[in-house]
Structure 1
Amino acid sequence: MPQPNGSFSINAEAPDESADSKALLQDGRVPPQCCSARLNLALLMFLGFSVVYGLRVNLSVAMVAMVNATDPSVDRNTSAAPACPLPAGSGNSSGAPQQPDGTPQYPWDSETQGWLLGAFFFGYLCTQIPGGYLAGHYGGSRFLGVGVLGTAALTLLTPLAAGWGSRWLFALRALEGFGEGVTYPSMMAMWTRWAPPLERSRLMTLSGSGGSFGAFVALPLTGFICEKLGWPAVFYLCGGAGCLWSIFWFAFVSDDPHTHRRISEEERDYIVTSIGAQGTGHGWSLPLLSMVLSVPLWAIIFTQMCSNWTFYTLLTSLPTYMNDVLHFDLQSNGFLSALPYLGNLLMSLLAGVAADFLMERKVFSTTTVRKAFTFTGLLLPALFLVLVSYVGCDHALIVTFLTLSTSSGGISSAGVFINQIDIAPRYAGFLLGITNTFGTIPGIMAPIVTGHFTEDRSLDGWRTVFWVAAGINVGGAVFYTVFGSGRIQPWANTEENRAEPERTRARTATR
């Protein structure tokens, strides 16, 4: 309902949906998204997270080229089960990838590689919560921009650190994670001020799906660059792309519609009116105890941890699986490792549009939509991972099921992964910092656990990896279905919104 000051509040009624946003839609006063400031912001975020994931996954493919597979100190264990035969075709080889003469290689065993692949996430853990808190208070644009720029600049130093030794490379990757940790909480804090309630799913899935696009581009491109220019060029080019993106970000982005220099008055009024009081930054104090005791928040935390275990297992270890078990050459390895993320990108975008459609048409409540998309987006990937475990060395089926697993995981992007802004819009950046901190733990543990199970490069070891990931996914799907919610929590209401029912009752009593 309208507030006394003439503004609208998305908290004026108990149900999940915003009646005010629906009224705006019915009156035909919704500015089109095409060429709008909010869509331009989503596209810039999309490109930014494409760069971010390129910086994150380039080591996964480059590792295959960086390691000297002929060194006798590397992986001395023998396989406990027969390795898969070479796939048919002249483009495949089980030998070490060819690179330009003079390209350095290192004697890192599977355990060392696992630690290096997980190093990024040690730093990534540290800045999620502080980044979300500060972005929610000051605005997220500067934190997101500096996070990408800092990570890109550090990436340029990767060849130097690798030459100094694995410990130096571990430290550098941890620093990269430290810089990048603020990016996703900053994105959520910005959408708190920019995304109308009934456009959240598609705007946020569009911006967040840049990660899948970045993985899709970076994985095959990394393999190609490694073979043509040598693996050091990968880090120079990726780092340069991040620095270039930051120039456009700082030139064209503002924290909120009020300060944007090129937004139309119509669009600014629509965004501010539909979001209401929840579009303002939170103060220095936070309802921490209420957050700790919030069951819907813990449902998000636990479910994102479960989903991320599978995601990070494949993100960091799939190139190794393609090389050690399926024996694809480096360029084929990169393309086939990237293929699942193209499917994930398309599925994420479709899920965002479908989720908003279901809520706009009042087919389902926000809670039902979030639960349905989350359950489906966790259960299907688990099913396909189990199927991978039982197709032996059938290269075509393995690639198909791995692609379907990661692709179907994109459905959950319109579920649990944007649920923070449903239950507490004003604190969404800080909450994403919390949930991403817990959700990053699998990014640390999954590569290490995978390295432990696959030391002998056997099919049995990889079968265990896939079964563990599938079981964790199913557990998350069930937990969120029972305990998740799409309602704004009482502790997340602003003082203005809490006072409104009292004012309404007072006016009624006076009459």
Structure 2
Amino acid sequence: MKTKIQVSCDGKMKGRSRGVPARYVFAAVAMLGMFFNMLTNCFPPVALPAMVRRNTSDISEKDTVDVCIFGQAGQNSSSEVKTGKFDWDEVMQSYVMTAACFGLVPSMIVAGRLVEIWSPKLLVAVSTVMGVLFTMLFPVFAKWDVNALIVTQFVSGLLMGAPIPAINAMISSWFPPEERQKLAGITLSAMNLGVIAANGITGKMVDSMDWQFAFYIIPSSLLAWMLLWHLCVYDTPQKHPRISQEELAYLATSNVKDQFQTKSVLPWKQMLTSPPIWAHVTMAIAPSWVFNTYVNNLPTYMVDVLHYSTTQTGYLLAIPQLFFWMSAISFGFISQWVKTSHFMGHLLSYHIFNGIATLGSAACLAAVPLVGCSEVAILVLLVAAMACSGAYMGGSKLNHMDLAINYSGTLSGVQAAFDISGAVLAPIVNGLVTNHQQTLTAWGRVFYISAAVNVFFFAVYLIFGSVEEQPWNRSVIRQDHEDKGKVNQASTVNVMELYK
């Protein structure tokens, strides 16, 4: 590919590329990053049934009406499932699986602010490398002491909070409004492809090898992605050495995050007292609760209640995630079309898509206990629930860019913190409900709780949600004169006028 070099107004050399637009390269690399991050974060729960000692000796003493008889679902005896040596009950298992999430909650908020004042590219690199190293230490600490393992996982969470808020903040800089919903949908939905891969790869790996190998092999893929991130991604279009002048001008004249303004004061008081902000960030808990019930708890449900093998469990749980991925992309495109065609109001579209995501998945999950041990009906309902949940990507997922785009890093970090709160609470609550009770009744409560959480947070957004820009988005900004001079003369629009 030939590249013509020009001198820009700041005296620096700029590449005029005739190849793939730089924003699409960023989208592709970020998508791979979301994939490998979720692959690394979501494989441990699939390996968990092979790590802990399973006790099924008391099943014959229980009311057989409240359990699935061996072979009734999955056609596999529980004896075919690998069992480990760790005596962790359901509550302890939930602590092990969510310890990193406890660290992620404050980490996401801090990282959300850091990406606005530091390099998001560098922050992602440091966070990722540290996270991979701690993940590889999981088998070592698991064999030593479970309490040490929990502490180690918590520390790893503190170190791994950067990628999601950083990439969300970079989306506001790289994707113009007319492409933002669909490109963000493609990029962020790759997280579910990572979950699909985690289910399929880990189940097969655990059944064919020792579970420890998963903790060494899978995180290594994230280190390989880091090389691509380092070579191809830049914090902003203005810092990209090979972006074309046309694309730079196009992004400069679009309503992207203003890279030539810096915040002298972060308006925490206004943020904390804004009902639309609270409605937006708490809405993230609903799909997160469903997602993390699938990732952290359903492997145990499939093995201990429906009696599938670890490999079968991995493959079967990958199916709902596949439908979520297709749904998220589809609803992202639909939402973008609705916005650009003015087919319906912006807020109304958020309400509709959020309603599909929450009320649709709630109805499907509430129906699971009603079908008993019918594995086909259960799988259909789980698939339908995840397909509905994917509509959130077309709903208010990116609402912070409507409310306060200049603080998209901070707000995406806060939103991610609430998302992680769902990741923390769902496994713990589900673990308490099913502790020493691997029965249909106990798991029925799990599905009913998930449904109730979705209905509640949809109601909150329905009442308080908004798409109106918040007045404090521009009120405490000072001009950065040094960066202002970097606006390319190829643009015929004064970028600063867009924010007056």
Q: Same fold (TM over 0.5)?
A: yes
- Asked if 1:93 is matched to 2:77, the reply is yes
CA distance in 2, matches of 1:209, 1:37: 20
Structure 2: stretches of 5+ with no match in the other structure: 1-15, 480-493
Give the unaligned 5+ runs of structure 1.
1-30, 504-511
How far residue 92 of structure 1 moved from its aligned partner, in angstroms, is 2.6
Q: 1:89 to 1:391 in 2, by over 3 A?
A: closer
| Match among 33, 39, 51 for residue 48 of structure 1 | 33
Instruction: Give the corresponding residue for 1:133.
Output: 113
What is the Cα deviation at residue 87 of structure 1? 4.2
Aligned to 1:469: 450
Change (3 A) 1:286 1:71: same
1:506 maps to none
The amino acid that maps onto 1:44 is V
| Distance of 1:480 and 1:183 partners within structure 2 | 26
Aligned to 1:58: 43
Q: State the alpha-carbon separation in 1 of the partners of residues 329 and 179 from structure 2.
A: 13
Structure 1 residue 366: Cα displacement: 2.7
Structure 1 match to 2:315: 335
Write the distance in 1 (CA, Å) between the matches of 2:100 and 2:264.
29
Q: How does 1:396-411 map to 2 (within 5 A)?
A: 396-411=376-391
Report if the CA contact (8 A) 1:154-1:239 is conserved: no
Q: Which amino acid aligns with 2:229?
A: W
CA RMSD of aligned residues (A): 2.7
How much identity, in percent, do the aligned residues show? 28
| Local SS of the residue matching 2:337 | helix
Q: Aligned partners of 1:32, 1:381: CA distance in 2, in Å? A: 45
Q: 1:56-455 to 2 correspondence within 5 Å? A: 56-70=41-55, 79=62, 82-87=66-71, 92-95=76-79, 97-98=81-82, 105-275=85-255, 278-280=258-260, 282-455=262-435
Normalised to the residue count of structure 2, the TM-score between the two structures is 0.87
Distance (Å, rounded) in 1 between the aligned partners of 2:360 and 2:56: 40
C-alpha distance in 1 between matches for 2:75 and 2:159: 38
Letter in 1 for 2:466: S
Counterparts of 1:34 and 1:361, CA distance in 2 = 29
Compared CA separation, residues 70 and 86, structure 1 to 2 (3 A)? closer
- Give 2:444's aligned amino acid: R
Q: Is the 8 A contact 2:289 2:422 kept in 1?
A: yes
SS in 1 for 2:326: helix
Q: How far apart, CA to CA, are the structure 2 residues paired with 1:460 and 1:127?
A: 37
8 A contact 1:272–1:279 mirrored in 2: no
List per-residue Cα deviations over 1:392-420 (Å, max 9, x = no partner): 00001101101111121011012222111
The equivalent of 1:35 in structure 2 is 20
SS in 2 for 1:393: coil
Which residue identity does 2:68 align to in structure 1? C
Q: Secondary structure at the match of 2:70?
A: coil
Tell me which residue corresponds to 1:7. Answer: none
Deviation at 1:89, TM superposition (A): 8.9
Q: Does the CA contact (< 8 Å) of 2:100 and 2:153 recur in 1?
A: yes
Give the 3 Å change call, closer, same or farther, for CA 483–43 of structure 1 in structure 2: same
Q: Which amino acid aligns with 1:468?
A: I
Aligned mates of 1:105, 1:256 — CA distance in 2 = 49
User: Any conservation in 1 of the 2:288–2:422 contact (CA below 8 Å)?
Assistant: yes
Query: One-letter code of the match for 1:492?
Result: N
State how far apart, in whole Å, the 1-side matches of 2:155 and 2:372 are: 39
Change beyond 3 A, Cα 1:260–1:110? same
- Conservation of the 8 A alpha-carbon contact between 1:49 and 1:214: yes
Residue 378 of structure 1, CA deviation: 1.1
